[in-house]
């Protein structure tokens, strides 16, 4: 009985298992086929990021190429934005060097690139106009827009209102740019509000929103660069002012200290002269004043000779020191004997400076 049931159920079982009958169409599982397709595509995609084609294909479109070129020209026209671009290129070079870190995500990125490339191909096949030159695309769009405006006046009025609204919004943006980032000429004149400025029309200014957008896009980097330059120049001037103030202060204090030192020295000299010439003689008895005057003359003469000898530049240090010692011992009998014996034994002769300064009665060797 069981065998009979099993044999009778075999055809239906085979049909249930998915085996097609003679007159029946085959049945496929969509989910399994889609998964199999994705896996096969993922296996076919190269994991090398250098083979990415989406951005290359996208950049080959004339309208995209022209737009990128225009942006690059606007950016390179200002030295500050060009410096930012150079910095970005350096960062890109560092990213290129760190490509080994991207190994785990290379496969997903390659899969996304493949899908994006296929989507771009579908768009090109459905809308061939995207692959035409930019001028032709613009002319086609403008002609179609004019045809729609002619055929549907409501659309024309809507476009006019939208254009007016866009122009008004762009004018406000331009006003705000002039207010927040005034030009260097107006800032130098002290005009803080754009109401006091006389706006000079730009040579490339037009009534179209695209022209106004172009003007604003060019103006903002230039104003930002000018503001950055002014801040940098102001900081440099502030630092120079601080340095100059410190230098002036040091010069003033040095000059004042020198003047005070000179005045103090002159005062001390005057006081010493007054003491030596007036105060001390008045305190001495009459018989001692003659000896005092004689001693004072000797000291003054010796000081003059010492200063003259010290200021000489045609002698070496050793000869100058010997002459200073000999001059110091002049007209002092004890010192004269000591110096004459010491230097006579050491050199065998007496220095010429000493012989020139010593008188006949004070020359060494005479008693």
367 residues of the chain, pLDDT tens digit each:
344 434 444 444 444 444 444 444 444 444 444 444 444 444 444 445 556 788 888 888 888 888 888 777 776 766 666 666 676 677 666 666 666 666 777 778 888 888 888 888 898 888 888 888 888 888 888 787 777 777 777 766 777 777 788 888 888 888 888 887 777 655 454 444 444 443 444 444 456 777 788 788 778 877 887 777 888 888 888 898 898 889 888 888 888 888 888 888 788 878 877 887 788 877 878 778 788 888 888 888 888 888 888 888 888 888 888 888 777 776 666 666 777 776 665 444 445 544 554 444 444 444 3
Positive or negative, the CA dihedral 244, 248, 254, 258 is: positive
SS3 category, 346:
helix
Phi-psi domain of 348 (left: phi exceeds 0; alpha: psi -120 through 50; beta: other): left
Contact partners, residue 268, CB within 8 Å, separation at least 6: none
Per DSSP, the residues of 261-294 read HHHHHHHHHHHHHHIIIIIHHHHS-HHHHHHHHH
Rounded CA gap, 29 and 193, in Å?
Answer: 71
Determine the Cα angle at 344 with ends 341 and 350, to 5°: 120
Q: Report the run of H or E that residue 119 belongs to, with start and end.
A: helix 103-126
Q: pTM, whole model, 2 decimals?
A: 0.33
Per DSSP, the residues of 19-49 read ---TTS-----HHHHHHHHHHHHHHHS---G
Give CB contacts under 8 A, 24+ apart, made by 251-259: none
Rounded CA gap, 58 and 68, in Å?
Answer: 11
What are the structure tokens assigned to 328, written together? Answer: 């110091």
């Amino acid at each position: 009985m069981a065998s009979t049931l099993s044999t009778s159920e075999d055809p239906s079982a085979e049909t249930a298992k998915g085996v097609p009958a003679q007159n029946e169409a085959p049945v496929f599982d969509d989910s399994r086929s889609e998964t199999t397709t994705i896996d096969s595509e993922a296996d076919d995609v190269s994991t090398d990021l250098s083979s990415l084609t989406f951005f290359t294909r996208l950049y080959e479109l004339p309208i995209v190429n022209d737009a990128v070129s225009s942006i690059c020209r606007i950016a390179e026209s200002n030295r500050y934005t060009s410096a930012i671009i150079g910095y970005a290129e350096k960062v890109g070079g560092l990213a290129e060097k760190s490509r080994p870190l991207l190994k785990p995500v290379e496969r997903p990125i390659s899969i996304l690139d493949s899908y994006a490339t296929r989507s771009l191909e579908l768009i090109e096949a459905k809308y061939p106009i995207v692959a035409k030159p930019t001028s032709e695309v613009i002319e086609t769009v403008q002609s179609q827009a004019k045809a729609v405006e002619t055929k549907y006046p409501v659309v024309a009025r809507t476009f006019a209102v939208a254009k007016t609204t866009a122009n008004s919004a762009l004018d406000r943006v331009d006003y705000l740019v002039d207010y927040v980032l005034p030009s260097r000429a107006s800032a130098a004149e002290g005009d803080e509000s754009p109401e006091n400025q006389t706006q000079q029309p730009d040579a490339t200014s037009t009534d179209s929103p695209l022209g106004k957008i172009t003007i604003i896009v060019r103006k903002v980097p230039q104003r930002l660069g000018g503001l950055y330059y002014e801040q940098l120049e102001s900081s440099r001037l502030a630092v120079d002012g601080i340095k100059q103030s410190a230098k002036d202060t040091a010069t003033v204090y040095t000059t004042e200290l020198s003047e005070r030192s000179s005045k103090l020295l002159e005062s001390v000299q005057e006081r010493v002269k007054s003491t030596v010439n007036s105060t001390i003689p008045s305190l001495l008895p009459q018989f001692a004043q003659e000896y005092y005057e004689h001693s004072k003359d000797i000291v003054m003469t010796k000081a003059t000779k010492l200063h003259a000898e010290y200021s000489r530049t045609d002698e070496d240090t050793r000869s100058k020191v010997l002459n200073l010692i000999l001059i110091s011992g002049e007209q002092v009998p004890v010192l004269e004997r000591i110096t004459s014996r010491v230097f006579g034994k050491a050199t065998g002769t007496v220095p010429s400076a000493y012989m020139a300064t010593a008188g006949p009665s004070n020359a060494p060797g005479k008693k």
